[in-house]
Amino acid sequence: MQRINASIGFDRKLWREDIEGSKAHAAMLAAQDIISADDAAAIRGGLEAIEAEIADGRFVFKTELEDIHMNVEARLAELIGPAAGRLHTARSRNDQVATDFKLWVRNALVRLDNDLKALQGALLNQAERHASTIMPGFTHLQLAQPVTFGHHLLAYVEMLGRDRSRVADALKRSDDCPLGAAALAGSPYPIDRRNTAAALGFARPSANSIDAVSDRDFALDYLATGAILAVHLSRFAEELVLWSSDQFAFVRLSDGFTTGSSIMPQKRNPDAAELVRAKTGRIIGDLNTLLIALKGLPLAYSKDMQEDKEPVFDAEETLALALAAMTCMVADMKVNTDSMRRATDRGYVTATDLADWLVRTLGMPFREAHHVSGSLVKQAETRGVQLYDLSLDEFRAVHAAIDERVFAVLTVEASVASRTSEGGTSPARVREAVAAATTRFL
């Protein structure tokens, strides 16, 4: 029973928040004349001594005391005597742990936002550097249209921006303080919940005492945000794996972020990217763990809720590591611009530009232009050449109105430069987007 019941093995991570909450609670009790000023001062002094002991690694955590709350309270009693027993007036471990955990998650969200900002900064630096670097864009992993590498990287900046907006939303939704809800019904003491909420950095006390102790939406918000973020990181990691392969050779990762083979000396394996990709499953699993733990719980508190912390702690550590690795890889990668450019000379990536030219210049309906362009692609495929290698006579054999102006739109440089719509891939638009994203996000 002691082994299954105890949580001190993992909830010791909440020690700072537990002591912070206890300090605020004791100060409020004294301000409301529920405990004496002398007792409040003794409690604060004892809590500060415990804080120093834990920070210095001198504190002895005891499994028989179950959790961080009882470990701190027991040590407080050893240090200051009976006054320690007054600290738990007008609160329960139910509202105490909800407060501790919410404080911890809010701090974790702030750290996550900072890590996301750092990765955006690394991406923006590379995007600005490669605003004119041409690469093939893909759909279905098939060559589609030419784009710039800077434009491609900016897609991830936007993804991470949405992740940061979810972080901000989660912080807003977690801005109510559970402390003072007690076990589930509130307190008969004349407590000032707004006092403790403000002291702990919350905007307000929670509105319903039952909800306060049974709510773990703030943890689900963190995990859901983390799971979506992890999917974004995994998609980018997959591209780094592809791009760094010999078949693509778009980027090169240094020895610092690759590993060799135990038997093949030529290998440069993108292990850091592969591990970021793999860890996504772990974070999604953390979200599922908590969703399943909560799904059948009646109000208010049940011991099942002790299982809320480990998945969140695991996700936080995993995300921090994955983001750090990804940020370093982005800053570290060397872009092979020649290889990217050569890759656009396959796959007829300017076929859409040809169709657009037929619409703009000849006034052709787009569906007809699409058919004409497709016919010319088939002709080029039959000959084993690119569209720009076809002669004007060959173009005119498909449609007599085509003239020599068509060749101006068949280069990938012209294609990229023409995509000037807002959010488009032209180098000028990419530079504008980098500047705008820098203002929005950094």
- Backbone dihedral angles phi then psi of residue 310, each to the nearest 5 degrees: -60, -45
Distance, CA of 357 to CA of 415 (rounded, Å): 11
Catalytic residue at 245? no
- Three-state secondary-structure class, residue 135: strand
The 3-class SS string of 29-92 reads HHHCCCCCHHHHHHHHHHHHHHHHHHHHCCCCCCHHHCCHHHHHHHHHHHHHHHHHHHCCCCCC
Residue 261 is a catalytic residue: yes
Question: Of 370, 371, 379, 378, which Cα lies nearest the Cα of 352?
Answer: 370
- The single residue of 36, 165, 254, 261 carrying the catalytic annotation is 261
Q: What residues contact 361, with CB distance under 8 A and at least 6 apart?
A: 405, 406
**How many residues would you count in the chain?**
442
Compute CA distances 358 → 200, 250, 373, whole Å: 65, 33, 9
Nearest to 275 by CA among 228, 316, 313, 324: 324
Q: Label residues 389-402 b or e (16+ Cβ within 10 Å = b).
A: ebeeebbeebbeeb
The number of C-alpha atoms within 13 Å of 379 and in the hemisphere containing its C-beta is 20
Of the residues 140, 262, 391, 421, only one is catalytic, namely 140
Instruction: Write the DSSP symbol of residue 346.
Output: S
Q: What single-letter DSSP state applies at residue 385? A: -
Helix residue ranges, H only, 190-308? 193-199, 209-214, 217-243, 271-294
Locate tokens 């773990």: which residue? 216
Closest CA to 67 of 27, 8, 142: 8
* Catalytic site positions: 140, 261
